[in-house]
Amino acid sequence: MKSKYYLLLLMLSFLLNMTVACRHKKDEQNKKIKIENLDESILNANKLIVRDEAKDIELLIQRYNWKMQSTGTGMFYSIDEDKQGKLLSKGDKVAIAYSISLIDGKEIYNSDRDGIKTIIIEQSDEPVGLHELLKKMSVGSKAKAVIPSHLAYGILGDNNKIPPYATLIYKIEILNNQ
């Protein structure tokens, strides 16, 4: 009798373990599907944000009748005063005077108030869009750029004056190449 009892207990234990294992595998599959759907949702939301931001940038440029060139990355710029010198490149250390505004025109940083910046192109901790702009300039040049958030401070902002997803307007003058 005891052996039948143990055999029955062993069979029940086996069935219980199989049920739990199958359920655990199904839960993992459901979790994977949910994560994939979440990734797709985030990607679609970001595409909408980039599209809407591009429209806002185009409207800004039209409103002020700025004559700007576009880059493949989404930045718009104009070289307002070109000194026709050698273009800056990766590793060049430059001092710049600047003004940074939000797309609504509110100035948030300015070299007169916040000090001249020294930047090593593609090596300093500055937005990618700024480095991209600097490589289109030479010493003494002045430029204006509208930099979309994905080339500026992105979804976090700078944790100070620049909010998340902020489009920035840069006005730059290259003072010297050190």
Q: Are residues 55 and 79 in the same domain?
A: no
Domain end call among 10, 33, 65: 65
Domain end call among 34, 65, 96: 65
Residue 168 has pLDDT above 80, yes or no: yes
The domain of 122 spans 69-177
Residue 174's nearest CA partner among 101, 109, 111, 103 is: 111
pLDDT of residue 176: 87
Q: What is the mean pLDDT of the chain?
A: 86
Q: Are residues 74 and 16 in the same domain?
A: no
Kindly provide the residue ranges of all beta strands, DSSP E only, lying in 9-91, ordered along the sequence.
69-70, 76-81
Percent share of the chain, pLDDT over 90: 65
- pTM for the structure as a whole: 0.77
pLDDT of residue 33: 56
Which tens digit of pLDDT belongs to each residue from 91-149? 999 999 999 999 999 999 999 999 999 999 999 999 999 999 999 999 999 999 999 99
Domain end call among 65, 92, 112: 65
Q: Are residues 122 and 94 in the same domain?
A: yes
Count the domains in the chain: 2
Task: State phi, psi for 158 to the nearest 5 degrees.
Answer: -105, 10
Q: Are residues 111 and 135 in the same domain?
A: yes
